[in-house]
C-alpha cells in the first residue's frame, strides 16, 4: 500500500516495527530480521517521514547504549495494518480454499 510521499507500507515494514517494539532497538530488530542496521534505519526513516508524527522514536548514548520505541502512532499503524490484512483474508477465503484444493498433496 502507498502512503504519502510515495512511501510503501507492507508486511516487511510492519514486521520491522513489531521487532523494534519487541527488542527496544533498531539494531536488534535489524539483526533479528537478518538485515543491516542501515537498511532498517532507512526503512524507519521513510515511515517516519511519510507520517504526520514519528512512529519510532530513538535515543542514543547512555551507559547501555541507545534504544528505540514505537510511539502510539506506531502501535496504531500495526493495529490498522493487521485489521486490513484480516479483512483481506476473509474477503478471499473462498478463493484461497479453491486454490488449496488444486494444490498437490504433501508427499
Report the DSSP beta bridge partners of residue 69.
Answer: 57
The residue assigned the cell 512511501 is: 7
CA angle at 63 for the pair 23 and 30, rounded to the nearest 5°: 25
57's CB contacts (< 8 A; 6+ apart) are 68, 69, 71
Cell triple for residue 102?
488444486
pLDDT tens for 68-105 read 999 999 999 999 999 999 999 999 999 999 999 998 88
Write out pLDDT tens, residues 17-69.
999 999 999 999 999 999 999 999 999 999 999 999 999 998 886 556 779 99
Q: Using CB atoms within 10 A of its CB, is residue 32 exposed (0-12), middle (13-18) or buried (19+)?
A: middle
Three-state secondary structure call for residue 58: strand
Amino acid at each position: 500500500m502507498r502512503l504519502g510521499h510515495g512511501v510503501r507500507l507492507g508486511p516487511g515494514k510492519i514486521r520491522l516495527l513489531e521487532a523494534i517494539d519487541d527488542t527496544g532497538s533498531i539494531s536488534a530488530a535489524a539483526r533479528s530480521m537478518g538485515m543491516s542496521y542501515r537498511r532498517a534505519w532507512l526503512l524507519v526513516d521513510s515511515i517516519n517521514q511519510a507520517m504526520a508524527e514519528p512512529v519510532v522514536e530513538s535515543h542514543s548514548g547512555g551507559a547501555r547504549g541507545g534504544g528505540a520505541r514505537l510511539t502510539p502512532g506506531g502501535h496504531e499503524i500495526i493495529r490498522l495494518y493487521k485489521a486490513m490484512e484480516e479483512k483481506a483474508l476473509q474477503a478471499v477465503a473462498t478463493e484461497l480454499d479453491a486454490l488449496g484444493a488444486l494444490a498437490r498433496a504433501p508427499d
